[in-house]
Amino acid sequence: MTVADILSSSPYAHLVVAISLIVTVYALYGAVWRLYLSPISHVPGPKLAALTWWYEFYYDIILGGQYTFKIIELHRTYGPIIRINPYEIHIGDPEFHSELYPTSNRRRDKWRFYTKQFGADESSICTTDHEHHKARRAALNPFFSLQTVRALQPVVEERVDTLMARLHEYGKNPGTQPLDMMYPFSAFTYDVINEYSFARSYHLLEKPDFGKEVTDSLLTGTFYGKWIQHVGIIIKLINALPETISVRVAPALRGFFKLKNDILHQIAEIQATSNTDKWELDVSHPTLFHELLSSKILPPAEKTAQRLSHEGQIIVQGGTLTTSWALTLATFHLLDRPITLRLLRDELIAKIPDSNAPMPVAELQQFPYLNAVVKEVLRHAIGTSGRLTRVCPDETLTYTNPDTDITTAIPPGVPVSMTTYKTITDPDLFPHPHEFRPERWLAPGTQEEQEQEDHEQEQEQEPEQESEQQRLERFLTIFGGGSRICLGMPLAMAELFIVIAKMWRVWGAPDDQRKGDVGVVRVYETTTRDAMMVADWFVPMPARESEGIRVTFESK
């Protein structure tokens, strides 16, 4: 059959051929543009990644959260600056962090492809425009400032005491199953963020299974993130369906919908008391929504229930799994490397003679070994394992490769990202990166010697010279950086310091029993493999077959 035969065989044949031609020419032009004409065509990287999104899709969706690892491998092949998809550049040099995420007011927008994954378009974390984000963030900041967190420490402490009581009760029953620590710690962080922000506690800590379903649904939500990012239509379709149908289509999202609805419901309740004498009176302390609804910074359009619910949703999601994973890893690593637990307990017992006395965070943060443990725990926990992408709309960034002295210009408007996981596992910065070594954060010598040394150095050195420890801290970019730095950092730090101090002040390991201990904690069939990230679902995920970080408690 000739082309002429085909064209004359159907009245639509001409149309089909014309459309095919247009699509082919368009695809060819797109390919040529991406490979040779794009403003970032000069940046090294695999041609396939520059040509098509399917490259990233393959690693993240088909192989499951693997692109972060692939990016690190690509850096080894192509150098510190690479192109990782048709539009985005990735930088693997930790020194570039302060340039990409500056603390000054240089504009840093976000990229829609990055923000899509959170499924809460009107929240601060998803706000692409720099100035718009600044306004939204300014309204949130006072509620999560260091001062507010310290003032609301009793809210955190009440939940820590409940957590401790639950663990003690658990340990009284020798026949009970080992505990996957992610559940009690997630119950704790979930209760805290809800009580702290919305004066509402779900009391997951009091539930027999520590509210496992809630933690599982939050984990499922993170799994959907990459799908939403790559196949955005999914969330649109699910949202367009009536909820009764959407929970059937995606039953794993049931918990997520409940979270959204609860938040919307609470906002409506608070809005209803506005301008009445019930405003603030029906809760134990002002809530985030009281703060936002009465904000003088935000215009009315920013105070809609829909927008505030997006803000609330991110705060609950962001405030739960990140910190609970860090606490879970702290439990494992301290028990897995007994010398670290022994040194920590020496310090806690010496500095906190009465284990029932209040432990103000500001004081705990002065304990050198506890500080080192928290930093090392954060480094292992990674926080957000995915790359953080920014767009500089009005400046040309330049990156100079320190090995070759070659400078690459990054035109305005190009999405650029860095990955904290790469930095904190870099053996040149953190030797034996997968080992738990709090001592890397301590200066050599005793604390007193070090203080003396620091003092002498201060006298001798130019003020801008940084010590090795300060340099390492600069690379501990777990909370992000610049104007978009984690909102909940002071709260997360308070939770980590208080829980680790309170727990290990009174619980010992089998070979480390002290006077006044309430019991013994043992690792149960858990190895370092269970504590390692093997997939990046924006938060780090351990191996699928892992049964979690499991321990047993034996109360005295």
The one-letter amino acid code at 133 reads H
Burial (CB < 10 A; 0-12, 13-18, 19+), residue 284, is: exposed
Q: Compare residues 137 and 230 and give the one whose CB is closer to ligand HEM.
A: 137
Residue 486 is assigned to a ligand binding site: yes
Burial (CB < 10 A; 0-12, 13-18, 19+), residue 537, is: buried
CA-nearest of 360, 412, 357 to 390 is 412
Q: What is the C-alpha to C-alpha distance for residues 152 and 425, in angstroms, rounded to an integer?
A: 35
- The least distance separating ligand HEM from the CB of residue 317, rounded to whole angstroms, comes to 8
Q: Compare residues 388 and 416 and give the one whose CB is closer to ligand HEM.
A: 388
Give the angle 162-164-168 at the CA atoms, nearest 5°. Answer: 115
Question: Which residues sit at the interface with ligand HEM, rule CB under 6 A?
Answer: 124-125, 137, 144, 193, 314-315, 318-319, 322-323, 326, 383-384, 388, 478-480, 484, 486-488, 491-492
Half-sphere exposure of 532 (CA within 13 A, CB side): 11
Residues 6+ apart with CB under 8 A from 340: 333, 334, 373, 436, 438
- The least distance separating ligand HEM from the CB of residue 502, rounded to whole angstroms, comes to 18
Q: Compare residues 153 and 323 and give the one whose CB is closer to ligand HEM.
A: 323
- The least distance separating ligand HEM from the CB of residue 116, rounded to whole angstroms, comes to 12
The side-by-side arrangement of strands in the sheet containing 89-91 is 81-83, 89-91, 415-418, 388-391
Q: Compare residues 125 and 308 and give the one whose CB is closer to ligand HEM.
A: 125
- The least distance separating ligand HEM from the CB of residue 99, rounded to whole angstroms, comes to 15
Q: Compare residues 13 and 429 and give the one whose CB is closer to ligand HEM.
A: 429
Which DSSP symbol is given to 459? H
Q: What is the largest CA-CA distance in the chain?
A: 96
The tokens for 371 are: 């500080």
The side-by-side arrangement of strands in the sheet containing 519-523 is 179-180, 550-555, 519-523, 507-508
- The least distance separating ligand HEM from the CB of residue 325, rounded to whole angstroms, comes to 8
**Collapsed DSSP state (helix, strand, coil) of residue 151:** helix
Q: Compare residues 84 and 100 and give the one whose CB is closer to ligand HEM.
A: 100
Q: What is the C-alpha to C-alpha distance for residues 9 and 11, in angstroms, rounded to an integer?
A: 7
Name the residue number minimizing CB distance to ligand HEM: 488
The tokens for 406 are: 């070659």
- The least distance separating ligand HEM from the CB of residue 272, rounded to whole angstroms, comes to 25
Residues 6+ apart with CB under 8 A from 167: 184, 503, 507, 553
For 41, other C-beta atoms within 10 Å of its C-beta total 13
Q: Compare residues 494 and 551 and give the one whose CB is closer to ligand HEM.
A: 494
Q: Compare residues 217 and 385 and give the one whose CB is closer to ligand HEM.
A: 385
What residues pair up with 512 in beta bridges, in sequence order?
Answer: 509
Half-sphere exposure of 128 (CA within 13 A, CB side): 11
CB 198 within 8 A of CB 165: no
- The least distance separating ligand HEM from the CB of residue 102, rounded to whole angstroms, comes to 13
Q: Compare residues 343 and 478 and give the one whose CB is closer to ligand HEM.
A: 478
CA-nearest of 491, 377, 473, 460 to 423 is 473
H or E element at residue 267: helix 254-273
- The least distance separating ligand HEM from the CB of residue 33, rounded to whole angstroms, comes to 29
- The least distance separating ligand HEM from the CB of residue 316, rounded to whole angstroms, comes to 8
Binding residues for heme: 486
